Amino acid sequence: MDYIKSRIRDVNDFPSPGIVFKDLTTVFKDPRALHIIGWDLSQLYRDKGVTKVVGIESRGFIGGSILAFELGAGFVPARKPGKLPADTIRQEYAKEYGTDVIEIHRDAIGPDDIVVLHDDVLATGGTMAAAYKLVKSLNPKKIYINFIIELSALNGRAALPADAEVTSLIVY
């Protein structure tokens, strides 16, 4: 993980003053780093029977697609409202100032699916908690939660279900 950490760029005061943003675009553009991430993510779930990976818009699409490919699983995008073309279900969630909504296709997950929910960074946990509720409403066999980076000082795990298996490749 030292190689991956060495490729993460800190961006000060983004998206607002006082925030140090962990930028993964510098990791994604590095072929070796991208390969390591794909390998390390897939090793976490290789023997768990995963059938679907749900990637959260938008950076979660990158790692989620790689993970789905490595596992031979399907990929399901979780998107902002109005971005998916067929019948969707939605989950509203609270943000620091107001609310937001996440959607997936109603037919994306079935009762025989074993799902990994993936996003790039665990910060406050609100988006992932909403994605979990959304996927859980479709009654899959099992749901795992995964991140590339976890910002432990923000205590995002507290927003996630206590019974969920949550893994992060890198914890700050």
- In three-state secondary structure terms, 164 is coil
- Distance (Å, whole) CA 128 – CA 18: 23
User: Tokens 């991430």 appear where?
Assistant: 37
| Pair 172, 150: CB distance under 8 Å | yes
Give the residue numbers marked as catalytic.
59, 96
- Distance (Å, whole) CA 28 – CA 126: 24
How do strand 114-122 and strand 165-171 relate by DSSP bridges?
unpaired
| Pair 156, 123: CB distance under 8 Å | yes
